[in-house]
Amino acid sequence: MISPPDNPLDDHKIYMAKALDQARAAYEEGEVPVGAVIVHGGRIIAEAHNQREALNDPTAHAEMIAITQAAEALESWRLLDCVLYVTLEPCPMCAGAIVQARIPAVTYGTTDPKAGACQSLYTITSDPRLNHQSTIVGGILMEECRDLLRQFFAEQRALGKK
């Protein structure tokens, strides 16, 4: 268990660093390097990274896997009092799952101008027409999160992939 510091920004950096560890694991496995952790009561209850290639599953995003793990840990689909930390702004699918899971807070590293569904392209997680909204904090360890993704895609392009 990580003891949270007094400064919320320090909390965000600590947990985002854990999400980055997951993103690096994805990178090493040839997956798009996105990592996620879910925190409840100052304790990490879920850690995941993208596994779409390994599982041949288009829904195997880091957030989706972490949400499933957290629901199992709490024995509830309602992830109240949780914070999701993810290295890349969630896509529409993941944003929908965040709303359905009632996650009250999402903190992400870097924006996704092509598919971001929390602030960049869509605002699904804060849409007042839906039955749940999340507080969104973006830009935590942004450079590290962004640079890891850029490096991965540059390597993939050099190999003629993605």
Residues carrying an active site annotation? 63
- 12 annotated as a binding-site residue: no
- 91 annotated as a binding-site residue: yes
- 61 annotated as a binding-site residue: yes
**Secondary structure class of 1 (helix, strand, coil):** coil
Question: What are the tokens at 56?
Answer: 């041949």
Task: Measure CA 15 to chain center.
Answer: 11
Question: What are the tokens at 154?
Answer: 């540059």
Question: What are the tokens at 35?
Answer: 């990592």
Q: Where are the alpha helices (DSSP H) in 29-141?
A: 52-55, 62-74, 92-101
Annotated binding site: 61, 91, 94
Annotated binding site for Zn(2+): 61, 91, 94
